[in-house]
Structure 1
Amino acid sequence: MNGDEVAIRELLAQQVAGWNTGDPAAYAAVFAPDADYITFLGAHHRGRAAISASYAPLFANLLRGSRLEVEVTGLRFLTSDVALIHARAVVTRSSGRRSRGERVNTSVAVRTGDGWLLAASQNTTHRLLAQRLMRTLFYRHSGGSLA
């Protein structure tokens, strides 16, 4: 693992630590000041300040005491200063119950004068049941052959 990959993984660990302490500013600090962030519900927040502001009420209420777990499933350098990151994330509520499913995350990290920061990030809920249904429908529609 090279130094840039280590730095990006540390950046994600910093983001997780911000979540796990319920600190919206720390959670958002990993984003570039002009970053784009799409939530799993499709909301689009532009900029670190907007990302932080969007998490303040969540950490104060719905996500209070929750824990975030992130597993990097892919990290590829598109250039020496731009990296594409794929990850899986799960939120565990304070009750110990997992939230309604795994999230699939795609982020773009860029090297800045302040080190690596996330320029863009999008979360999608992994819906296993819907995925299975789509495979079944595709299988039936394709005459029984899974391409």
Structure 2
Amino acid sequence: MVMALGIGTSAGASGDDGAQFARILKQQYDAWYEEDGAKFAATFTENGDMVTFNGEHLSTRKGIAEGMQYYFDNHIPTSRLKLLDEHVRYAKRDLVVIVRLTCIVEATDCRAGSLSRNTNVLSKKDGKWAQESFQNTRVEPLPPGVVAMPEPKPYAGTIDQIRQRQEDGWYEEDGAKFASTYTKDADVVTFNADHLKTRQGIAERMQFYFDNYIDKTRLKTLGEHVRYVGKDVAVVVRTGCQLVPPSTECRPDSLSRNTNILVRRHGEWQQESFQNTRYVPIP
């Protein structure tokens, strides 16, 4: 089973950590195949957050179990998940960010259109790892390209100040300003599931998007769920949309949900990871 799913000891993690990451992943993949929402949710902390492939926010282990069981019973056909690639990075000794590329297998090969990228954030308490947040986004490839620039100077502040600076960077179409809110080695998964690595990589790729694909719009926050993991880690799940100035109404089909992981060092916050998924309601 482990070999068939491509699961092994996580690259970038050693010893017991890597073994725990692999066990958690295998439990989730087994639960998906068995269509068992409770088993899937058991890998999360009691207050964990999950944003699904369609942008729905499931909150708490109980809510994740109930939401996933509904999807298994009504919308997800019997299938297996396959791991294609993973990127493991420790934000702190007891906080890890894992970005994985996966697909859905119904026979022997990846199902067409099922390629997706997910960000998994795990915390360790009393020697045991569990998931604090998970978000999945379908891959919609865009051509490669970056706008070369030096690494932006870091920006740190309150959680609200960071959100405002990102929104300003988006409206000004300034990749460096947008990226400055992130730690040096941060991870971003975009609306089309592109994985951007490091503050400089985020700046260069976002500038490429601003110059070629993103129309001049403003971001509008419609809702926010903030949860603290200890005193120096925050999980922020936001619901938002895009406005086309001078309109104050959300642009059609622009509703999305994103998970932001922030860490506080020396009294100031910065972002460790971000992932966005378009919201598509399912009955």
Normalised-by-shorter TM-score class: 0.7 to 0.9
Say if 1:99 and 1:38 are closer, same or farther in 2 by CA, change over 3 A: farther
Please state if 1:116 is matched with 2:263. no
Listed one character per residue, the Cα deviations across residues 76-101 of structure 1 (whole Å, up to 9, x for unaligned) are: 11011100101012123468571533
Q: Once the 2 structures are TM-superposed, how far is the Cα of residue 53 of structure 1 from its aligned partner?
A: 0.9
- Please give the secondary structure, in 2, of the residue aligned with 1:101: coil
Task: Identify the residue that residue 100 of structure 1 maps to in structure 2.
Answer: 253
Q: Once the 2 structures are TM-superposed, how far is the Cα of residue 57 of structure 1 from its aligned partner?
A: 2.0
| Unmatched runs of 5 consecutive residues or more in structure 1 | 1-5, 133-147
The structure with the larger Rg is: 2
If asked which structure has higher relative contact order (CA below 8 Å, sep 6+), I would say 1
Task: Identify the residue that residue 26 of structure 1 maps to in structure 2.
Answer: 177
- Please give the secondary structure, in 2, of the residue aligned with 1:9: helix
Say if 1:27 and 1:99 are closer, same or farther in 2 by CA, change over 3 A: farther
**Structure 2 CA distance for aligned equivalents of residues 76 and 18 of structure 1:** 25
Q: TM-score, normalised by structure 2?
A: 0.41
Larger helix share, 1 or 2: 1
Task: Identify the residue that residue 67 of structure 1 maps to in structure 2.
Answer: 218
**Structure 1 CA distance for aligned equivalents of residues 210 and 167 of structure 2:** 13
Please state if 1:80 is matched with 2:231. yes
The one-letter code sitting in structure 2 at the alignment partner of 1:40 is F
Q: CA RMSD in A?
A: 2.1
- Contact between 1:101 and 1:127, CA under 8 Å: does it hold in 2? no
**Structure 2 CA distance for aligned equivalents of residues 72 and 26 of structure 1:** 23
- Contact between 1:72 and 1:85, CA under 8 Å: does it hold in 2? no
Q: Once the 2 structures are TM-superposed, how far is the Cα of residue 71 of structure 1 from its aligned partner?
A: 3.7
**Structure 1 CA distance for aligned equivalents of residues 252 and 183 of structure 2:** 28
Task: Identify the residue that residue 91 of structure 1 maps to in structure 2.
Answer: 242
**Structure 2 CA distance for aligned equivalents of residues 60 and 50 of structure 1:** 15
Stretch of structure 1 that moved more, 57-66 or 17-26: 57-66
**Structure 1 CA distance for aligned equivalents of residues 181 and 252 of structure 2:** 23
- Contact between 1:76 and 1:85, CA under 8 Å: does it hold in 2? yes
Listed one character per residue, the Cα deviations across residues 93-122 of structure 1 (whole Å, up to 9, x for unaligned) are: 468571533110111100124821110111
Stretch of structure 1 that moved more, 61-70 or 45-54: 61-70
